[in-house]
Amino acid sequence: MNHLKSVRKENELTILNIWEAKRRIASIINRTPLIQSYILSEKVGRPVYLKLENVHEIGAFKVRGAANKILSLNEEEKKRGIATFSTGNHGMAVAYVAKKLGIEAVVCISQRVPNAKVDSLKRLGAKIEIYGDSQDEAGERCYELEKEKGLTVIEPFDDPHIIAGQGTIGLEILEEVPDLKDVIIPLSGGGLLSGIGLALKSNDPSIRITGVSMEHSAVMYESLKVGKPIKLVEKNTLADSLLGGIGLDNKYTFQMVQKYMDDVLLIKEEEISYSMAFMMDKHRMIMEGAAATGVAAVLGNKVAHQEGALAIIISGQNVDLSVLRQLIQNYS
């Protein structure tokens, strides 16, 4: 998946951006645990580690990038307020950081965002605007607010500060797993994979990066196939956090995913469902569908076997209880 690697030099991030992000967000973001899953390790015959980004206060990794971006704003920008568009987790991250810093925030979401995430947004005090049937349509409303009210838009993924913030996950993994060989990363707009990929491959280019997405509406996957960003109609999926376009004018993540991702896997809905239930059963761990895609890749023996440690990014845990009840019923 390393084709079409032409990277615009003016847009290129470096490992120094990630170290800067690590220092900037330290006052807001706590280091997350990395644990070995002995059940998964035994299944594949190599050490498998879980990077628990689901334990952040908002229940998802997105708070890293949001903190780095918002903390980089000048005082005038903070005073005017901020806006964002999201499938849920990024919106919660922006609302959480804005509340901590006393900044007014508007979050634009589509009608597809699950109730659990809408309720969390309300608790965090953000003003919510529900617009359209996709993240792209919610984004259109967000940019209208930028023009109407002078709000600063906090991009969900295609922004150097967002990418660098997510990349701090890679630095933490490197510090704890010296024999790291493989990392499995949920793939949507590409901010998470771009940041972690940059952090890891700047240290050791031989580390393999595998992106995982759902079969339905995998926009980055389909865009890579045709060599340019495209739009897709969003379809219902358990991995709702991976929905949303990558932007037809994508400046960063499309090229960075091309550069750093070694392989990409599409996960069936029934595999996502089973993996969510499996982790509740075996690890007593709640995770949302997007986070379970990496576990599904291991359970399905989809990752090429080799020596050395494998890490899975457990990206979030924000899922409706009604979904969990159905999963448990089907699993048992």
| Phi, psi (rounded to 5 degrees) for 175 | -70, -25
Q: Work out the number of other CB atoms within 10 angstroms of the CB of residue 10.
A: 6
Give per-residue pLDDT as tens, 252-300: 999 999 999 999 999 999 999 999 999 999 999 999 999 999 999 999 9
- Tell me: the pLDDT tens digits for 295-307? 999 999 999 877 8
As given in the structure block, the two tokens for residue 24 are 């900037």
Q: Which helix (H) or strand (E) holds 183?
A: strand 180-186
Tokens of 125: 């005090």
What is the token pair recorded at 297? 């890749």
Question: For residue 119, what are its two tokens?
Answer: 């309720």
pLDDT in tens, 1-51: 444 444 444 468 999 999 999 999 999 999 999 999 999 999 999 999 999
User: What residues contact residue 67 under an 8 Å CB cut-off, 6+ apart?
Assistant: 24, 25, 28, 29, 93, 97, 165
- Report percent pLDDT > 90 for the chain: 78
Q: Measured between alpha carbons, how far is 160 from 65 in angstroms, rounded to an integer?
A: 9
Of the candidates 75, 69, 155, 61, the one whose C-alpha atom is nearest the C-alpha of residue 108 is 155
Assign 169 to helix, strand or coil: helix
What tokens were used for 117? Answer: 């995430």
Distant-in-sequence, close-in-space partners of 11: CB < 8 Å, separation ≥ 6 = 160, 251, 252, 255
Please compute the mean of the pLDDT values over residues 306-318 and round it to a whole number.
93
For the four alpha carbons of 139, 78, 102 and 317, in that order, the dihedral sign comes to positive
Domains observed in the chain: 9-61+159-331 (3.40.50.1100), 63-153 (3.40.50.1100)
Which amino acid makes up residue 24? R
Mean pLDDT (the chain) is: 92
